[in-house]
Structure 1
Amino acid sequence: MSENKYLSIYNDLLSKIEKGIFKPGMKIPSENQLVEQYETSRETIRKALNLLSEHGYIQKIKGKGSIVLDVRKFDFPISGLISFKELAQKLGKPSRTIVEQLEVMKPDDMLKKHLHVTARDDIWKVVRVREIEGERIILDKDFFNKKFVPFLSKDICERSIYEYLEKELQLKISFAKKEFFVEECTDEDRKYLHVKQYTHVVVVRNYVYLDDASLFQYTESRHRLDKFRFVDFARRIHLH
């Protein structure tokens, strides 16, 4: 019961931070106040606060209490596994997805290496442009092993592939390996994106795995330089 209690308190406090009830720089109520408010033990409150601290939402300062940190996560779909649809909802800005290409293909040498597939495998290739506030700023090139994703349509790709995979196909998407680098704009970038005066793009490569550790997706996301911001949170672990 106490296990569920501290998680429900954590989620309630997190909700207040995300909704702006507790703003960055604000001090959240003291342990004593929280004990009273949630009618629970100090230990349960401490467990909830420790979890908030570990996830980068608060900083516990001796003698001052817990201060809310300004950690705006998921500015772009790179820090964690998040679909563009989920991202757009978080940003609250007008956005749309334009499907430029949808086809089944045989893997070239690059895909054989990145998706761990053979010449016999069929691969879905999906090229989509992400538009935010009327500007085309992200070019997503997704490759799915057809063994795991037997069917895709333009409608699914415009709405949310992940929503379809998880709700309809019941796939359990678990984790991803990511690589970040900068490279010169290609003709494809200039064709699909509003690159303006920029000569380079930020490239994020994603290798996405299911919960049984099967690699089922390789993605290359190409971001316009001025609109790219990688936000993450890291806390140093002190070894004793």
Structure 2
Amino acid sequence: MRNKFNAIYQDLADKINHHNYPVDSYLPSETQLSELYGTSRETIRKALSELLTNGFIQKIRGKGSIVLNLQRFNFPVSGITSFKELNNSLHMNSTTEVLCLEDQHVPLEKFDYQSSSPLLATYVERLRKTNNEPIVLDHDYILKSVVPEISHKVAADSLYDYFENQLGLTISYATKKITVESPTKEEAQLLELNEHQDVVIVRSQTYLEDTTLFQFTESVHRPDKFSFVDFARRQKIN
């Protein structure tokens, strides 16, 4: 069932991305999609629910599922998702350029983090592009006490794939702080920002399963290319 609805979700997402279903048009009805894909309406509903969650469609009562404008990519706030995973799931056609790879001390003041001694890390600066347009500038500090070395090849591909599948680390949770700030001169140039255009900065600290802190990240996002999404459930406070 899961593989089936994932395949349907991916096919519909691809068709939306390639404008087979244009913005403001409606997808076929659940019954039509069920016949088209030769599956149950329950499976179709699961695929549509995934499209809804990822910002591809909006369901309108009595009308169906309308296709939304996908100029912005939805980035999950509460999850721990690598850029490569986001690229693969949203078919962003993205590339990564490694701008810097060297040993540095973590600028703890940026992360409001207190430490009795300096923290030595591998600093990785990467520029993310979609369709050759810069959208994110990532500053990663990987503590050398946990990961002694990182190659240029790994930095250009996926740090998390290397950490989890080659080093056997179990990444568990992260704390995140999101702010809107004026970019530095370098950030404005690299992201090709208009004059006086602010950026969205996500600063995070990521921990392993045993609560070991191993990564500080500062991601600088173009606000016209990303929206940040989360899931919240109401809880009454008595």
Q: How high is the TM-score relative to the length of structure 2?
A: 0.66
Distance 1:126 1:194 in 2: 20
Judge conservation of contact 1:209–1:217 (CA < 8 Å) in 2. Answer: yes
Q: Give the Å deviation of 1:136.
A: 8.2
Q: Residue 27 of structure 1 aligns with which residue?
A: 26
Q: Residue 71 of structure 1 aligns with which residue?
A: 70
Q: Residue 142 of structure 1 aligns with which residue?
A: 140
Change in Cα spacing, 1:18 to 1:90, as seen in structure 2 (3 Å) is same
Q: Residue 189 of structure 2 aligns with which residue?
A: 194
Q: Give the Å deviation of 1:234.
A: 6.2
What is the total number of aligned residue pairs between the two structures?
A: 228
SS across alignment from 1:22: coil
Judge conservation of contact 2:84–2:158 (CA < 8 Å) in 1. Answer: yes
Counterpart of 1:123, as a letter, is L
Q: 210-219 or 61-70, which moves further after superposition?
A: 210-219
Structure with higher Rg: it is 1
> Over aligned residue pairs, what C-alpha RMSD do you find?
4.5
Judge conservation of contact 1:73–1:232 (CA < 8 Å) in 2. Answer: no
Counterpart of 1:50, as a letter, is S
Judge conservation of contact 1:129–1:137 (CA < 8 Å) in 2. Answer: no
Q: Residue 102 of structure 2 aligns with which residue?
A: 102
Distance 1:122 1:173 in 2: 19
SS across alignment from 1:17: helix
Q: Give the Å deviation of 1:103.
A: 0.9
Judge conservation of contact 1:35–1:41 (CA < 8 Å) in 2. Answer: yes
Residues 74-124 of structure 1 deviation map (CA, whole Å, 9 limit, x = unaligned): 38898963337975995547763311x51154x67648963x7653x8531
Distance 2:10 2:92 in 1: 21
What does 1:19-168 correspond to in 2, within 5 Å? 19-74=18-73, 81-83=81-83, 92=93, 96-99=97-100, 102-103=102-103, 105=105, 110=109, 114=113, 119=117, 123-126=120-123, 128=125, 130=127, 140-168=138-166
Q: Give the Å deviation of 1:143.
A: 1.7
Q: Give the Å deviation of 1:58.
A: 1.8
Q: Give the Å deviation of 1:193.
A: 5.7
SS across alignment from 2:216: strand
Distance 2:170 2:136 in 1: 26
Q: How high is the TM-score relative to the length of structure 1?
A: 0.66
Residues 43-85 of structure 1 deviation map (CA, whole Å, 9 limit, x = unaligned): 3322332333233322222222221222345388989633379
SS across alignment from 1:231: strand
SS across alignment from 2:34: helix
Distance 1:35 1:69 in 2: 22
Distance 1:137 1:43 in 2: 37
SS across alignment from 1:157: helix
Distance 2:134 2:57 in 1: 35
Distance 1:177 1:228 in 2: 21
Q: Residue 218 of structure 2 aligns with which residue?
A: 220
Q: Residue 208 of structure 1 aligns with which residue?
A: 206
Q: Give the Å deviation of 1:13.
A: 2.5
Q: Residue 179 of structure 2 aligns with which residue?
A: 181
The correspondence for 2:228, drawn from 225, 229, 232, is 232
